[in-house]
């Protein structure tokens, strides 16, 4: 009741559509029902990314960006930072920490302001990427020519980009990868 979100012409590319958010009270955010692909939960994602466009003359800047998942705050700005330049699309990215492992949820996103007027577009969840380095703690790993060097002897598995195992060694401190 404290704002509206309408899909309408993008302010810089009228042939494309974006969510236009207009608020009349603080904490009025864009609310979206999200269902992830089968087998995925929110803990599989590390960040949220989106583009924001601030309408000139509105009270959008130096306000708090807020993100909620199922009414639980997962992000809020410290202080009142500049959110973006007026009349320019800006990409924002925030970490998703301490989220529940839900496959579907309500996502609330936006600037907490009593006089907001801005657009959101390209809202994306960014999946976590595994480095494949498990349990290395104080180990140092480096390459010299075609040799992988480990400061502590350990078990090593190297996979190609298709996920196929190409090298598996146990209790080694170097691995020749020249082949």
Torsion, Cα 47 51 52 53, to 10 degrees, reads 170
Q: For 71, what's the count of Cα atoms within 13 Å in the CB-facing half-sphere?
A: 0
pTM of the predicted structure, to 2 decimals: 0.72
pLDDT tens-digit map of 23-69: 999 999 999 999 999 999 999 999 999 999 999 988 888 999 999 99
| Strand partners for 162 | none
| Confidence class for position 176, pLDDT limits 50, 70, 90 | confident
DSSP states of 79-122 as a string?
S------BTSEEEEEEE--S----SEEEEEEEEE-TT-EEEEEE
- The 10s digit of each residue's pLDDT in 79-130 is 999 999 999 999 999 999 889 889 999 999 999 999 999 999 999 999 987 6
Read off φ and ψ for residue 61, nearest 5 degrees.
-90, 160
Write out pLDDT tens, residues 148-166: 887 776 777 888 777 888 8
Structure tokens at 63: 């306000």
């Amino acid at each position: 009741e404290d704002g509206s979100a309408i899909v309408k012409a993008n302010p810089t590319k009228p042939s494309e559509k974006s969510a236009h958010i207009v608020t009349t009270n603080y904490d009025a955010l864009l609310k979206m029902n999200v269902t992830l692909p089968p087998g995925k939960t929110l803990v599989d994602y590390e960040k949220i990314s989106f583009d924001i466009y601030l309408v000139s003359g509105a009270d959008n800047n130096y306000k708090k960006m807020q993100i909620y998942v199922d009414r639980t705050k997962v992000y809020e700005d410290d202080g009142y930072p500049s959110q973006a330049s007026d009349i320019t699309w800006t990409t924002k990215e925030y970490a998703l920490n301490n989220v529940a492992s839900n496959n579907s949820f309500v996502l609330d996103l936006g600037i907490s302001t009593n006089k907001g007027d801005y657009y959101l577009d390209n809202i994306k969840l960014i999946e976590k990427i595994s480095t494949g380095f498990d349990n290395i703690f104080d180990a140092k790993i480096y390459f010299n020519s075609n040799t992988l060097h480990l400061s502590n002897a350990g078990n090593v598995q190297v996979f190609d980009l298709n996920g196929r195992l190409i090298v598996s060694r146990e209790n080694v401190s170097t691995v020749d990868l020249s082949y």
